[in-house]
Structure 1
Amino acid sequence: MLPCLTLAGIGWWYWPGEPAPVPLHLVDGTVHAALLTPDEASRLAGTTLVSGPRSNQPPAAMTASAAKCAVAVGPATQSVYGNEWTAFLSATYQDAGGAGAYAVNQVIGVFPDSAKARAAFRTLTTGLTRCTSATRTDQAGRTTTWAYTTYPATPAAVVWTATQDAGSGWACYRQAHLKGTSLIQVGVCEAGNGRPAVSKIAEALSGKVTG
């Protein structure tokens, strides 16, 4: 059952087809950003992770049971990042055993200016506060129901948790940080307390984004 839970938990990280290899580093004008490697993420998460899907563009918005929940069900999709970004990078790592018991996702979206990055961050925070639960259909047609808990946002960060209904404790712990012209997101999905790991990974990732 765990592999199915993993797919459900990271449904908004699903990428159709088999994309060309995507590096873990991007340079966009004066912005330099690099995702944590699997080894770096493993040390912070306290478990061995291996590389999974990567993408250089946000996936299409997901279908939610209510239109107001589009952001909550797909925070790293076009629902938040839209089409005005100038560079985008996402990578998912999963447990080395292949049991689907743990997953980490990192996202960096770079915008032309800080105003557009702030607008995307506002879209994210506003969308999260509008939705406490939703049934989500991902790009592969899988349907799952989730409950969302969002904590008060600061001007540059927001923390929230998505818990799968009837998921045996499966939850995704997430953070988003606004840094200059970049909107950064990190998610840790597991049937346990992923909050300490997501905080460590988000802080480390934010430190790698300059400009």
Structure 2
Amino acid sequence: MRTGLRLTPSAALGAALALALTPAFTAHARPSDPGVVNYAVLGKGSVSNIVGGPIGAERLFGAPFQAYSVDVPACNNWADIGLPEVYNDPDLASFNGATAQTAPNDETHFVKQAVGVFANADAATRAYHWVVDRGAGCDGQTATMRLDNGATQVWTFHGGTSGPADAAWVKQLAGADRRCFVQTRLRENVVLQAKVCQSGNGGPAVNVLAGAMQNTLGQ
């Protein structure tokens, strides 16, 4: 999705948070079945439409993973999504995730999705709080990520007040016009996460992506 606008980092963050923290509950939500993870992760065609650019490569993953270390522990669960610390709960019933990007060697647009269905709402709430409680000390921090492939990246993190079921934050790559816009949503027994990385404002795109994922939950 291209808006034609170039927002400052603070304005983009404010817009992303305003979108993310808008209440989105249905009046009579019910728990999701484990099988919804097969539908909640959007394919590259849908992702391309949402980000407004070509998406030629995607990779699915069926288990949480972490492929980096970070020198500011509070930022660990803001640095990426689909992490073991968040999802690896004994009551995790099903999980699915995917990454998608412009081309195999081109991350002009990079999108990641993760969704976990838990046996009950209490377990999902625990997972959600692994994100918001640990990340509470990350806002305003600059942290170095050391990726398992040997690369090193420096990011500055900005986030607002997380709601009881919605959280959003942005990380800015040092020395580059590149930001990742991230949302985490708790919906009954589901925790879903979406991340859009690009130049300019990816806030509207990540909000549409997370909303589309949420619409598949059957709640």
TM-score, normalized by length of structure 2? Answer: 0.76
> Deviation string for 1:50-72 (max 9, x for gaps)?
34121000114732113333222
User: Which deviates further from its counterpart, 83-92 or 95-104?
Assistant: 95-104
Which runs of no fewer than 5 residues in structure 2 stay unpaired?
Answer: 1-32
> Deviation string for 1:20-64 (max 9, x for gaps)?
xxxxxxx62687743212112222221121341210001147321
Partner of 2:191: 183
> Deviation string for 1:87-117 (max 9, x for gaps)?
1111111115853211111111121211011
Q: Does 2:74 align with 1:68?
A: yes
Aligned with 1:36: secondary structure?
coil
Partner of 1:150: 159
Instruction: State the one-letter code of the partner of 2:44.
Output: P
User: Which deviates further from its counterpart, 106-115 or 83-92?
Assistant: 83-92
Instruction: State the one-letter code of the partner of 1:189.
Output: C
Kept in 1: contact 2:44–2:100 (CA 8 A): yes
Q: Pick from 100, 103, 106: which aligns with 1:93?
A: 100
Aligned with 1:154: secondary structure?
coil
Partner of 2:178: 170
C-alpha distance in structure 1 between counterparts of 2:86 and 2:104, whole Å: 32
Check 1:28–1:152 CA distance in 2 against 1; reply closer, same or farther (3 A cut): same
Instruction: State the one-letter code of the partner of 2:171.
Output: A
Aligned with 1:100: secondary structure?
strand
Q: Does 2:90 align with 1:81?
A: no
Kept in 1: contact 2:42–2:213 (CA 8 A): yes
Kept in 1: contact 2:44–2:58 (CA 8 A): no
Partner of 2:114: 107
> How many residues matched?
185
Quick one: percent identity of the two aligned structures? 25
Aligned with 1:49: secondary structure?
coil
* RMSD (CA atoms): 2.3
Kept in 2: contact 1:33–1:210 (CA 8 A): no
Q: Pick from 125, 130, 137: which aligns with 2:132?
A: 125
Partner of 1:135: 144
TM-score, normalized by length of structure 1? Answer: 0.79
Check 1:32–1:144 CA distance in 2 against 1; reply closer, same or farther (3 A cut): closer
Runs of 4+ aligned structure 1 residues displaced above 6 Å come to: 29-32
Give 1:205 shift. 0.8
Kept in 2: contact 1:61–1:70 (CA 8 A): no
Where relative contact order (Cα < 8 A, 6+ residues apart) is larger, the structure is 2
Kept in 2: contact 1:61–1:79 (CA 8 A): no
Which runs of no fewer than 5 residues in structure 1 stay unpaired?
Answer: 1-26
